[in-house]
Chain A
Amino acid sequence: MHQIVGCQPPIKLNEEEERRKKKKKKQKVTDMLPVVVVHGGADHIPKERSEKSTLGVCSAARAGYTILQGGGSSMDAVVEAVTFLENNPSFNAGCGSVLNIKGEVEMDAIVMDGKTLGSGAVSAVRNIANPIQLARLVMDKTSHACLTAEGANRFARSMSVPEVPLESLITEYSRMRWTKNLAADANPVECQIGKMGTVGAVAVDVEGNVACATSTGGILNKMEGRVGDTPCIGSGGYADNQVGAVSTTGHGEAIMKVTLARLILFHVEQGQSVEAASDLGLAFMKSRVHGLGGVVTVDPQGRWAARFSSLQMSWAAAQKDTLHYGLYTGEHSTQSIEKPV
């Protein structure tokens, strides 16, 4: 019925060759797993904040990797990694979220499990420290896939998820940016800074299960109730054990128009590598709707990519006890996972 194109059987191989190839493939698979890749948003990141951003994604990747090494599922790993990013005030998710036009914080988050295609999302939820954990509860504890606004908060209360005061989610920086953007003489270029700092993670566990998680405070000075790409399945993220997993960041309205996560996985289904598929998806978004963004992508074999069309994207990946990270296009540093950055 639904076929993954691109997996063609070998035409003629003698038995030994075939066996050798199989063994090699199997070995490769074991080597490559587990893996976790995180992003801290595709954005123009001010220089003074870039170091914090890199440190943040590295520690989130480490946290996710620790879960995976302890035999945890990819779902546990992505939720852990994103929880780290939400708790870090340098990122636009959880604590550190941007403020809407009224100076309030409304957050969106999604998780998706590639094994079952189950997903959970919350949109425009308030006063929750870790929306990603609430999204997971929607998946695990309800028959629904998305709860919004007051309904999401009501559900949080029923699950005994504590509500935190608004002030605990607001940083001095986000308050400053909000005030600046409200000013009559606000610089429109500066207004774009920090606009697209969604965070997210994708992972593959040792069993080959993929998962994704994405969380955001949305865009600066957004209207009350604005929902972006993040909690929309196929836009902010998608995960399918038969293909791979994607978490996206960038210009939310553009990402939605092309359902970026799903688009990239269609390319993977057609036989493209995770890197080529990510680039194709981002290039299409740029040419068709003039949107910039970034993605982290994995396939069930553990191949991964962190790609972006924006100026920067802070990202980090952990695989084979090695930490990979970068911020600018072409930048790719590696080090042992044990060492601090």
Chain B
Amino acid sequence: MTMAEGFSNGIKPEDQERNLKMSAVVVVHGGAWAIPDDLAEASVDGVKVAAREGFSVLNTGGSALDAVEAAVRALEDNTVFNAGHGAVLNAAGEVELDAFIMDGRTLATGAVSSVKNIANPVSLARAVMEKTSHIMLTSRGANLFAESIGTATVPTDTLVTEYERKEWEKHTNYVSGVMEDFNSQWKVSAVAHDTVGAVAVDSAGNVACATSTGGIRNKMVGRVGDSPIIGSGGYADNLSGAVSCTGHGESILKVTLARLILSHIEQGKSVADSSQLSLQYMGDRVCGAGGAIVVSPSGQWAATFTSERMAWAAVDRDVLWYGLDPKERLKEPLSQ
């Protein structure tokens, strides 16, 4: 278990005061799994860029919802991550994407599952939220909706990297990926892969979350993981906080991880303790590993994982925090 958290090591009086002023915070993750060394640096750079992107939206008066969408778009556009550009291929060699966005102010939610060949599924999820009376559209229906609002589909080749094509060919079947990608204290029945996500709180105290993924390499056609499922891949409620999850999707679903973390916060636990308890529970009960980022309406945040690694970054006031390995918690001034 490893953890980074805001304001954890004794709250200084001046921190408390600033806290009351509702400082805006954004936290992003690039997926919790055994990230290979050759992707480590690019992963960390990618989450740092996305966190800056999200924070600049907050800084210029944007809402938490705008910030998480911007941060996740940055991750989707980055081929290092398994979402949008850089997505993994399913068993039929196609790209099927899941994405989710939620507004903690109204509990309004938008999601797409198994949508094909969309560069920024998170923005399509937001359009489902804002332009339909539904919450989730799936598969061809989601693509028809995209078409109806003028969102272009892009060719598979523009979304799939050469790296992924090679990996897909290497992993002739899904099971072979299990132990390689997912090597942790808990055994799992399937491979974990790198969903991306963001949570934010704006200066008005509104929270939001967004999650986006290409799912698991060699997944069955039509497999839907935790990412687009409300309460599992993410949840946001102004009364408690916002969460975005990553890790072994089927395990996250079993414990509805995002909602579980927030239920602990509702019971008065800190964001860090809530994340830790819930991830530990997921390991104990269903042998699944993963990670979560959490922000509370008062600006407390945590980035926690039980997988080998998770690329994460957070902007809290003028400091950019980031990490990849357990217990790693680096910082640099935001202006750098």
Question: Does any Cβ of B come within 8 Å of A98's Cβ?
Answer: no
Q: Which residues of B contact A2 (CB under 8 A)?
A: 277, 281, 284-285
CB < 8 Å: which of B136, B256, B277 contacts A238?
Answer: B256
Q: A257 at interface (Cβ–Cβ under 8 A)?
A: yes
- Interface assignment of B235: CB less than 8 Å from any CB of chain A: yes
Does A1 sit within 8 A of B, measured CB to CB? yes
Collect the chain B residues with CB atoms within 8 Å of residue A186's CB: none
For residue A111, CB closer than 8 A to chain B, the reply is: no
Residues of B within 8 A of A116 (CB): 286
Which residues of the other chain, B, contact A288 by a CB distance below 8 angstroms? 107
Chain A interface bracket (under 10, 10 to 19, 20 to 34, 35 or more): 35 or more
B286: A residues at CB distance < 8 A: 116-117
Query: Given the complex, which residues of B lie within 8 Å of A228, measured CB to CB?
Result: 134-136
Interface-centre pick from B132, B136, B140, B221 (highest chain A CB count, 10 A): B136
Task: Please report the C-alpha to C-alpha distance between residue A146 and residue B139 in the assembled complex, in whole angstroms.
Answer: 13
* Of the residues B114, B231, B277, contact of A259 by C-beta under 8 Å: B231
Are the CB atoms of A233 and B253 closer together than 8 Å? Answer: yes
In the complex, A233 Cα to B259 Cα: how many Å? 11
Contact code string A104-141 (vs B, CB < 8 Å = 1, else 0):
00100000000011110101100000000000000000
Q: Which of B108, B111, B190, B256 contacts A233 (CB 8 A)?
A: B256
> Complex Cα distance A263/B45, Å?
38
Given A223-B132, A256-B109, check contact A149 B138 (CB 8 Å): yes
The 4 nearest A-B residue pairs measured at CB: A225-B141, A151-B222, A149-B139, A259-B231
Can you give 24 A-B contacts (C-beta < 8 A)?
Answer: A1-B280, A123-B138, A124-B141, A143-B174, A143-B190, A144-B190, A144-B220, A144-B224, A144-B250, A147-B220, A148-B224, A151-B114, A154-B220, A154-B222, A155-B222, A225-B138, A226-B136, A227-B111, A227-B138, A228-B135, A234-B230, A234-B256, A253-B135, A259-B231
Q: Are B222 and A262 in contact (CB under 8 A)?
A: no
B224:A234 contact, CB within 8 angstroms: no
**Residues of B close to A232: CB separation below 8 A:** 136, 229-231
**Binary per-residue interface labels of chain B (225-253) against chain A in the complex, 1 for a CB within 8 Å, 0 otherwise:** 10001111001000000000000011001
Closest CB-CB distance, B132 to chain A, in whole Å?
Answer: 6
Q: Would you call B107 and A148 a contact (CB within 8 A)?
A: no
Please count the residue pairs between chain A and chain B whose beta carbons lie under 8 angstroms apart in the complex: 159
Question: Please, how many angstroms separate the alpha-carbon atoms of A1 and B280 in the complex?
Answer: 8
> Main SS of the interface on chain A?
mixed
| Interface residue A142 (Cβ < 8 Å from any Cβ of B) | yes
Complex interface residues of chain B between 46 and 64 (CB less than 8 A to chain A): none
B336, CB-defined interface residue at 8 Å = no
Q: Nearest Cβ distance between residue B224 and chain A, in whole angstroms?
A: 4
| Distance to closest chain B CB from A128 (angstroms) | 13
Let me know if B189 and A143 touch, CB within 8 A: yes
A289 at the A/B interface (Cβ < 8 Å)?
Answer: yes
